[in-house]
Amino acid sequence: MKTIITFIIVFGVLVLVHEFGHFFFAKRSGILVREFAIGMGPKIFAHQGKDGTAYTIRMLPIGGYVRMAGMGEDETELVPGMPLSVELNEQEEVVKINTSKKVQLTNSIPLEMLEADLEKELFIKGYVNGDETTEITYRVNHDATIIEQDGTEVRIAPLDVQFQSAKLWQRMLTNFAGPMNNFILAFVLFTIYVFMQGGVAYTNTNLIGEVQANSPAEEASLKPNDKILSIDGKKVSDWEDFTEIIQASPNQELNLLVESDGKTKEVDITPKAEESGGKEIGLIGITPPKKTGFMDKLAGGFQQTVSGSMQIFKALKSLITGFSLNKLGGPVMMFQLSAEASKAGVGTVIAMMAMLSVNLGIINLLPIPALDGGKIILNILEGVRGKPLSQEKEGILTLVGFGFIMVLMVLVTWNDIQRFFF
């Protein structure tokens, strides 16, 4: 249960922050956000906001989305002969169109639809109450809503509030805002983690920060602020130098030359063997010193965000040069990480969430159709050409990209299941 709660919180926050970036900048650009969804699949909760957005929670915790007007994501298509019902206001304008059998409107008019235009002319025409002798045309209010077949109520999408009606720079910023929010979240979380740790470690020194209780270092009488000068006669000047030697020497006795309280002494120590990343490394139970100033902690949060980004880029390079499904992870991998992090404590969960946020931001910026990066590439192409791609071509590219992502997700998920459960 602890793992499940951790997974839901981590996944929910990452998706919420990412999608809120798209949502916020779409709203600021005058684009109608028809639905803000957390999760995928069947709807389990919906609320129609006064701002025209339907806020929904869906059953499968594998993503989320912001459905913007004009993005080709409409789930309900009105076709001639379709039975529906309409609700009118005092001006005899349609303010609600019901296409769902799950919802009954008390003051609605049954209509067999013949023709409709909910983008330009804003009208709907049909036979009322099954009377095929008379066609009636109703004007549709600009802010009317439509109830989709699953019962979700969303606003209609006239041309003036569609995505393509916004300026190019506004659309580009709206597409970039999701990944941008993930980078901001990562910085905030890494900064919180640094504050929880009491400061940010600095490693361009050979000083010892803390010595863990009952560790090889404590048994060898090493103390905070001791300076490691050499190991087995090899001079060391910073943490990278001596941690590389120590980690490569599990269960092997090492001779350290240490400066302590102004005096130099030799210490024999045997690193304890521990497993990390599928291999055995040596540890002696020391940590680097920390910078504890407020600005140092902020700088530490930024530094860890950059460092996390570099790790993701290295992983992507490794994936390109030698593709393997074992280098990828999906929701199952994320659940496994949540299980391990929840056992380690709140700090580890925060650090993991920060790293996943960086990962989500970078992956979404890849130039793959259907991802934010692919959409930004299309925005740049539009700026160069002076006109956008046709909706048909853009739709095909998006469909191909979406299909590729879905196939990859299925393969990765199945591979994760085999790795962790078989």
Catalytic positions, please? 19
Go through 146-172 and write b for each residue having 16 or more CB atoms within 10 A of its CB, e for each that does not: bbbebebbbbbbbeebbbebbeeebbb
386: region left, alpha or beta (phi > 0 left; psi from -120 to 50 alpha): left
Please give the structure tokens belonging to residue 195. 């504050």
> Cβ(56)–Cβ(45) under 8 Å?
yes
Burial of 240 (0-12, 13-18, 19+ CB in 10 A): exposed
> How far is it, in rounded angstroms, from Cα 189 to Cα 179?
15
DSSP string for 327-345: G---HHHHHHHHHHHHHH-
DSSP string for 246-303: HHT-TT--EEEEEEETTEEEEEEE-PEEEEETTEEEEE-SEE--EE-SHHHHHHHHHH
CA dihedral 125, 128, 131, 135 (to 10 degrees): -20
Number of residues that this document lists for the chain: 422
> How far is it, in rounded angstroms, from Cα 385 to Cα 375?
15
List, in sequence order, every beta strand (DSSP E) within 71-226.
Answer: 83-88, 94-98, 109-117, 123-128, 135-147, 153-155, 200-201, 210-211
> How far is it, in rounded angstroms, from Cα 124 to Cα 117?
6
CB-side exposure of 160: number of CA atoms within 13 Å?
5
Tokens 């989320």 sit on residue = 64
Q: How many CB atoms lie within 10 A of CB 343?
A: 12
In 3D space, the residue among 409, 366, 384, 385 whose CA is nearest the CA of residue 175 turns out to be: 366
DSSP string for 9-36: HHHHHHHHHHHHHHHHHHHHTT--EEEE
Indicate the SS3 state at residue 178.
Answer: helix
